[in-house]
Structure 1
Amino acid sequence: MQGHLNVGSSQAPALWINPEHGGQALGAVVGNITINDVLLAEQRLARFAPLLEKLFPELEKSAGIVESPLLALPADVIAQGADAQGTFWVKADHQLAVAGSVKARGGFHEVLEFAEKIALETGMLKDGDGYEQLASTAARECFARYEVAVGSTGNLGMSIGIMSAALGFKASVHMSAEAKEWKKRLLRSHGVTVHEYPGDYAQAVATGRELARGNPFSHFVDDEKSASLFCGYAVAALRLQRQLIALNVRVDRDHPLFVYIPCGVGGAPGGVCYGLKHVFGEHVHCFFVEPEDSSCFLVRMQNPDVEGISIYDAGQHNQTIADGLAVPQASELVYSMMRTRLAGMVVASDERMVMDLWRLKSMADLKVEPSAAAAVSGPRALLGTVVGQQYLHSTGLDAFMPAANHIVWTTGGALMPADEFDRLFAQGLELSSQPQANVPDAA
């Protein structure tokens, strides 16, 4: 395939451009999700805002809306051999209240949609009722009859588990071997049942899905197949549009927008990309960033005719410090939605993620986990590689790059314990002090 990238090779380029971007792919399966579904998700989150404000004191200032700021990012964070043209921003989802990651919007939305369904079916909610009453003892006793379960490497589990437990559901999170101990401890402190597995994400999801199938009172949140999650994630794009308008940031032909989002199974970045393409059309260019030894979405994009292909088929081993991105197989639902919408993929080494974790903290005072730091490799790859320059030239974007805006989407980290972060920060400092640290990624 044109533009093929042999992921896993130390000589591989950092950037792969999607040859089907902007086209009509033959044989592509288009999902049945529409922008109206995303608008309904935004409305649902608004209806539940008074309840969330009541359940979580940290949401009082935002009146129950869980949203992150858009922050200016010093170009020096990016400029390691790259010509850092344009203006740089951080969409700081690592600061999202309660769950501390990009998974908050989608995860919260699916749990709330399930709670709403039960409340309406049982008569706990009637037309015109305020949703605050779902914090009542009667509501919690009703929800306690039900289980909400999910398979996760960490962040989605925290989003689903924390929200489910807060509403009174029995919350169960099936966690793969990659999941960090501190995330398991945090979940248990909220009353969530954590099931641990020696295998990878796929095993945890498959086991959790099967167990839920046998329980009529269990709702399984399926990260690979859930339209509810996808729509909740996509709400971020609608809110980002309003943030850009408030900052007088234009997005049009003369002011292109580039967005770089870390990717695991694909749900969160896929939802964000779908929403952004609806809002900004051809003027936004979305890139997913994955670990070089766990690049499931890239493997799927490179093999459009091989449904269900995994990283193991491509010779990868799922060994990465980025626990939130350690997924062997991409979501087929999201792949179908991204096949012509996604501009390209970037791969990042574990060493690069840790160095960028250090750079984000030391240069921008942002505390992120390695999975989130992966996003910094996005603009560096686009601006600092031959492949990236070819993309900008072939699309006619190179003339507009001084007026471009770049958004690095940080996906988790605020809840990370200080000792865990300090250890990674020290590693990043040590790696960044080595002579080869300032050499740009291979083109």
Structure 2
Amino acid sequence: MSEITLADVEDAAALLSGITTRTPVERSGALTGVAGTPVLLKCENLQRTGSFKLRGAYVRLSRLTPEERARGVVAASAGNHAQGVALAARELGISAVVYMPRGAALPKLAATRGYGAEVRQEGADIAGALTAAQREAAATGRVFIPPFDHRDVVLGQATMGLEILDQVPDVRTILVPTGGGGLLAGIAAAVHARGADVRVVGVQATGAAAFPASLSAGRPVPLEGMSTIADGIAVPVPSELTLGIVRRHVAEVRTVSEEAIAQALLLLSERAKLVVEPSGAVGAAALLDGSGDLEGPVVVVLSGGNVDTLVLHRILRHGLVAAGRYLQMEVRVPDQPGSLAGLLGVLAETGSNVVSIRHDRTAADLGVAEVQIGVELETKGTAHCHEVVTALREAGYGVVFQSVR
């Protein structure tokens, strides 16, 4: 593939004029404190369709020939690419079929249909949906629109790199969520085509990190399995196209834990007042995971905000646990009237909030006159958790099990 030039990216940006929005950049005081250097958030979660995917999808579709447009397009996605293709096709008057896994989130299904695409659910995961989409393309002649493995898609994503340089001229580091590498490759190629001295760093979830092994081998190396809450970047292997660009232009690819991702979502929700999906929060997670060696100003790309409300609730709860804001424990008390009230009185004095409580009189190691009470509390952090446990023990209660994370 020929090198991506500044003119290439500027041409893509011209195509997107009036289609995508110039998403804002906001300073994050909380992450600045963590990193020890200025941190700014590129809020692509506020883009039309809720993610950066519209950029690449629209550039690819806009460059189809009249004959290809007449045949229509087909894509496979669990969410963000689906919505990007659907809206791009509607704007250009092109028929679109999108295959999504049977377990795709209802809000993402509804949004994709709302943008005008015909949605078909097939396959237990994205691999099954992808097979169905490629079969559809072969059988009907529809043009398959890949999520990252096409030069036009990469050029569309690259337009974000130019926006970042315009909005933060003194940026020194850009953290980019990375799955198949289209966004990472595009941003890195764009900033270097502009001649900017910027380190572009890819960030992947540890449980779905295909780039480290592929970069080490010098070729795409598929993962044998993936497990992460960041489903939007759960891609088992990069393409030759994206890997080649990343090798030339990206400083490094880092990985982050599930706990850090959950805590990043919590921080972005509480402190930045932003709804971000797990895959879109991995750049912020890299700062929370101890990446304090980055030269600032640092721009963290929040690549998307399409997250199912129920999933968000579960992840935020996990983030609270990881941050030490929840305490789970088992306390043994005499099986007599007033014991539970006494326990709750001590907890009230500590300033903790009881979320749930249960009684257990049947545990094998309980005495005849004992009851074990399971308590889940909201606390103010890890130090407060230990204060609660100390207060109970000083009051004479036997805390037999506790979970402070």
Q: Same fold (TM over 0.5)?
A: yes
Q: Does 1:73 align with 2:28?
A: yes
CA distance in structure 2 between the aligned counterparts of 1:372 and 1:178, rounded to whole angstroms: 20
Q: Is the 8 A contact 1:267 1:331 kept in 2?
A: no
CA apart distance, 1:241: 1.9
Q: Does 1:279 align with 2:191?
A: no
Q: Kindly report which structure 2 residues correspond to 1:75-90, keeping only aligned pairs within 5 A, or say none.
A: 76-77=30-31, 84-90=35-41
**From 141, 154, 160, the counterpart of 2:79:** 154
Q: Percent identity?
A: 24
Q: Which residue in the other structure is 1:407 paired with?
A: 299
CA apart distance, 1:103: 1.1
Partner SS, residue 184 of structure 1: helix
Q: Which residue in the other structure is 2:61 paired with?
A: 111
Partner SS, residue 50 of structure 2: coil
Larger CA Rg, structure 1 vs 2: 2
CA apart distance, 1:360: 0.7
Higher relative contact order (CA 8 A, sep 6+): 1
Task: Summarize the Cα distance change of 1:176–1:417 in structure 2 as closer, same or farther, 3 Å threshold.
Answer: closer
Q: Is the 8 A contact 1:201 1:326 kept in 2?
A: no
Q: Is the 8 A contact 2:4 2:193 kept in 1?
A: no
Q: Is the 8 A contact 2:28 2:41 kept in 1?
A: yes
Q: Kindly report which structure 2 residues correspond to 1:254-265, keeping only aligned pairs within 5 A, or say none.
A: 257-265=172-180
CA apart distance, 1:273: 1.4
Task: Summarize the Cα distance change of 1:330–1:199 in structure 2 as closer, same or farther, 3 Å threshold.
Answer: farther
CA distance in structure 1 between the aligned counterparts of 2:320 and 2:221, rounded to whole angstroms: 37
Q: Which residue in the other structure is 1:250 paired with?
A: 170
Task: Summarize the Cα distance change of 1:238–1:207 in structure 2 as closer, same or farther, 3 Å threshold.
Answer: same
CA distance in structure 2 between the aligned counterparts of 1:265 and 1:335, rounded to whole angstroms: 9
Q: Is the 8 A contact 2:97 2:117 kept in 1?
A: yes
Task: Summarize the Cα distance change of 1:298–1:184 in structure 2 as closer, same or farther, 3 Å threshold.
Answer: farther
Q: Does 1:101 align with 2:101?
A: no
CA apart distance, 1:149: 1.2
Unaligned runs of 5+ in 1: 1-29, 53-64, 123-142, 252-256, 393-400, 439-443
Q: Is the 8 A contact 1:172 1:194 kept in 2?
A: yes
CA distance in structure 1 between the aligned counterparts of 2:195 and 2:24, rounded to whole angstroms: 20
CA distance in structure 2 between the aligned counterparts of 1:322 and 1:220, rounded to whole angstroms: 25
Q: Does 1:42 align with 2:7?
A: no
| 1:5-46 Cα shifts (integer Å, max 9, x gaps) | xxxxxxxxxxxxxxxxxxxxxxxxx64543332222122223
- Let me know the Cα RMSD of the aligned residues: 2.8
Taking structure 1 as the reference length, what is the TM-score of the superposition? 0.68
Count how many residue pairs are aligned between Structure 1 and Structure 2: 330
CA distance in structure 2 between the aligned counterparts of 1:329 and 1:204, rounded to whole angstroms: 16
Task: Summarize the Cα distance change of 1:177–1:274 in structure 2 as closer, same or farther, 3 Å threshold.
Answer: farther
| 1:99-133 Cα shifts (integer Å, max 9, x gaps) | 1102121122222333xx42xx79xxxxxxxxxxx
Q: Which residue in the other structure is 2:331 paired with?
A: none
Q: Which residue in the other structure is 1:331 paired with?
A: 239
Partner SS, residue 99 of structure 2: strand
Q: Which residue in the other structure is 1:352 paired with?
A: 260
Q: Which residue in the other structure is 2:120 paired with?
A: 195
Task: Summarize the Cα distance change of 1:420–1:378 in structure 2 as closer, same or farther, 3 Å threshold.
Answer: closer
Letter in 2 for 1:364: A
Partner SS, residue 365 of structure 1: coil
**From 142, 152, 155, the counterpart of 1:228:** 152
Task: Summarize the Cα distance change of 1:311–1:78 in structure 2 as closer, same or farther, 3 Å threshold.
Answer: farther
CA apart distance, 1:345: 1.3
Partner SS, residue 364 of structure 1: coil
Taking structure 2 as the reference length, what is the TM-score of the superposition? 0.73
More strand by share: 2
| 1:72-94 Cα shifts (integer Å, max 9, x gaps) | 111x3365xx5x23211000000
Q: Which residue in the other structure is 1:441 paired with?
A: none
